[in-house]
Amino acid sequence: MAETDVDLVILGGGSGGYACALRAAELGMSVALIDKDKLGGTCLHRGCIPTKALLHAGEVADQTRESEQFGVKAALEGIDAPAVRKYQEGVVSRLYKGLQGLVKSRGIQFVEGEGRLASPTSVQVGDTTYRGKHVVLATGSVPRTLPGLEVDGSRVVFSDHALQLDRVPASVVVLGGGVIGVEFASIWRSFGAEVTVVEMLPHLVPLEDEASSKLLERAFRRRGIKQELGARFSGVEHTDGGVRVSLEGGKTIDAELLLVAVGRGPVSQDLGYEEAGVTLDRGFVKVDEYCQTNVPTISAVGDLIPSPQLAHVGFGEGILVAERLAGLSVVPIDYAGVPRVTYCEPEVASVGLTEAQAAEKHGADGIKTLTYDLAGNGKSQILKTAGAVKLVAAKDGPVLGVHLVGSRVGELLAEAQLIYNWEALPSEVAQLIHAHPTQSEAVGEAHLALAGKPLHVHG
């Protein structure tokens, strides 16, 4: 048995793991970064990046299909699925090579192999033990299914399988109306498929403000995306043409594919975590506000812990752990202050508290809200997008939440994040002059109205 000694051993090379490795190396630590798969993890290879490439291809298809409304004559001849996949894989490949070079330049030892926590200070990969002063667990998550629902990768698929398709399915049922479900629904509809989203809760993207969910549902109906809301899945059977999906109550939907998008679960089983004394809860590793487990020499970050399953959350947690281990002063992450974007068409973006959360925290009489319709925004009219900016604020106090729906509104979250995290008053934001014509004006106009001096707002 060979042994390698370093300051820090990280098990998992996804967003949280590699961010921790990069920051730790910057701070002078020797690092071994271990992953059984490619550096970059789910986000780079099977998540954020490839799906957003597909969404952009879908946007190009929609713009071509609808070009005459802008006075441009163009015809959409069809979707070349292999060419779309080549474009998608090219984006991933370039980012992957860049990340590999970055990790190498920092002197980080990347180990490709199946690692297992061997003790509170070591990870074993094959015949080699990597021992450190501290271990960071960052083994991420995988798609979940429902009891009795078998995913065969052919007719019943996860998002991982969907990214490898060499064709555009004629029809799809998407089981789950969360982020992954609505993004794939948007992609396939843009590519010309008939799509039905089945969600057991009353609204799509149920973690968002209800007003945002309703705007998305309306937009999806206009796009021809069917929705079965408050509907429970009861079964699926194979047919000559694909699958027949059954819902409680007796309704059935025939389609070529069923995409199972009911969430992702942590990868923690049979990796030695419990044997080393790490406390788990429903598979998630339990940590404190500094991502420290109950074992002093072990921390955990990313989808493995019960924080928002977002790549940029993993980045933040990885950096926090590296800086804490280096003895720097660190501040716990305010997860409500992390920006959230669903990249369907239209996009849904938010930061801070929903109206319901704010009312629960401050009382219904302790908050005020304002909705600014994008119909009053020049750039949104140019883009021909509908949607709104909704603000939630404390009465006579700071902005508590910013919620946006519309094409490209995810780009507006940078300012919204600062407004929430710096506890800005509506009157303070109203003093800022936004460039015209931009969609960012919609954020400014909403704050002007909430501050009592509306500009392009009726009433």
Task: Report residue 428 as tokens.
Answer: 């303070």
User: Bridge partners of 289?
Assistant: none
Task: Report residue 165 as tokens.
Answer: 């398709």
Q: Is the dihedral of CA 383, 384, 385, 391 positive or negative?
A: positive
Would you say 210 and 354 are in contact if contact means Cβ atoms under 8 Å apart? yes
Strands 122-125 and 128-131: antiparallel
* Torsion from C-alpha of 204, 202, 414, 14, nearest 10 degrees: -60
C-alpha separations of 137 from 189, 323, 437 in Å: 38, 16, 46
Strands 194-199 and 226-229: parallel
Give CA–CA dist 189/345, Å, rounded.
10
Give CA–CA dist 377/182, Å, rounded.
26
Q: Provide CB contacts within 8 A for 426, sequence distance 6+.
A: 391, 393, 399, 447, 450, 451
Give CA–CA dist 56/180, Å, rounded.
15
The one catalytic residue in 56, 161, 403, 436 is 436
Distance of CA 145 to the CA centre of its chain: 18
* Torsion from C-alpha of 58, 64, 67, 68, nearest 10 degrees: -130
Give CA–CA dist 422/84, Å, rounded.
41
Residue whose tokens read 């304002």: 370
Residue whose tokens read 């970059």: 40
Annotation says 45 is catalytic: no
Q: How does DSSP assign 120-189, residue by residue?
A: TTEEEETTEEEE-SEEEE---EEE---TT----SSSEE-HHHHTT-SS--SEEEEE--SHHHHHHHHHHH
Give CA–CA dist 227/8, Å, rounded.
48
| Biggest CA-to-CA distance, the chain | 76
Give CA–CA dist 304/310, Å, rounded.
11
Would you say 203 and 173 are in contact if contact means Cβ atoms under 8 Å apart? no
Residues with catalytic roles: 436
